[in-house]
Amino acid sequence: MNTLRIGLISVSDRASNGIYQDLGLPALEEWLTQALDTPFELEKRLVPDEQSMIEETICELVDERFCHLVLTTGGTGPARRDVTPDATLAVADREMPGFGEQMRQISLNFVPTAILSRQVGVIRKQSLILNLPGQPKAIKETLEGLKDEQGNTRVHGIFASVPYCIQLLDGPYIETHSSVVAAFRPKSARRDTNN
């Protein structure tokens, strides 16, 4: 059985130096635990805003730990120390621009400064790598999307597309709890897992 492996990277100078507690990794782990019906293993890393260290960490998680999905949090703005997207692009084989576009689209529902985000989605080897925002509330909104008062999806979160993307990269078949986020894939790509 090909167990789903997910790498989590929190990028923060202050948290990595112990000045304050990292909130990104616990927020990601909590969301994934609620959202995924498929068993998974986590590899967690906390690194400073140093491009070379971010690059090394992504490469380690993909090349040595064989993570199918790597989620980063933090370091995606225009400030000089915000280098997560630069590091991600530097180690990428291919860019997946739709992820960055959708992340900004979701955030624009809340703040006009969402256009300042440089978040990217890329593929390295057989792994999908996504840059997420730094705040736990924004992480949840980006992954899950926006629902109206009746619970109907108004804007799709990016995670709705992640299971099918990983499937196309020959990774494991991922199922989600549709009450959190419904995985979307074409009928031809669906498996009946009730047998």
Residues 6+ apart with CB under 8 A from 194: none
Instruction: Give the pLDDT of residue 153.
Output: 81
- CB count within 10 Å of CB 44 equals 16
Q: Model's pTM, two decimal places? A: 0.95
Instruction: Give the pLDDT of residue 46.
Output: 96
Strands (E), 12-165: 40-47, 69-73, 94-95, 121-124, 127-132, 145-147, 153-156
Q: Which domains does the chain have, with CATH numbers?
A: 4-189 (3.40.980.10)
Instruction: Give the separation between CA 172 and CA 24, rounded to whole angstroms.
Output: 25
Beta carbons of 115 and 104 less than 8 angstroms apart: yes
Residues 6+ apart with CB under 8 A from 164: 183, 184, 185, 186, 189
pLDDT, averaged in runs of 10, over the chain (195 residues) = 92 85 94 97 96 98 98 95 97 98 94 95 98 94 90 89 97 94 91 64
Beta carbons of 108 and 115 less than 8 angstroms apart: yes
Instruction: Give the pLDDT of residue 62.
Output: 98
Instruction: Give the separation between CA 110 and CA 45, rounded to whole angstroms.
Output: 29
3 state SS of 95 = strand
Instruction: Give the pLDDT of residue 195.
Output: 43
